[in-house]
Amino acid sequence: MFVKQISVFLENKSGRLAGFTKVLAESSIDIFHITVAETEDYGIVRCVTKDNARAVDALKKAGFSVSVTDLIGVEIGDEAVVQRLIADFVAHGLLPDTFLWRETAFRIAPPLIITDEQIRETAQTIRTCLDRLG
């Protein structure tokens, strides 16, 4: 499954995060998932909303720098199976997580730089772990 994620650049100044959430609140846009990565000078807010297209439009109109990327998740359909897979992935050196608000799906969080060989190795590890489920 693919989900669009919004990334917003914010200066690390008092009130900037509040301004971001205010724009969404005033547009009646709910946030399903949000993370913030910050440094001393700036931050990047990443979120998934109920209506990403409207959120992007409202944020851009309010002067925010916004980009949209795809997140990839794998729907398994069973929370217990996903938890077993995540434990198996960790044991094999992968960085998995449940997929946003869906406890029945997982995603792998790759590093910012990943080689084709690392992608093939990761895919093979995922296949091996899935095959062990029976």
Of 107, 108, 110, 106, nearest to 82 by C-alpha is: 106
| Residues 24-68: tens digit of each pLDDT | 999 999 998 888 988 899 999 999 998 999 999 999 999 999 999
Of 82, 64, 79, 87, nearest to 16 by C-alpha is: 64
The domains of the chain, with CATH numbers, are: 2-69 (3.30.2130.10), 74-132 (no CATH)
Q: Is 110 helix (H, G, I), strand (E, B) or coil?
A: coil
pTM of the model: 0.69
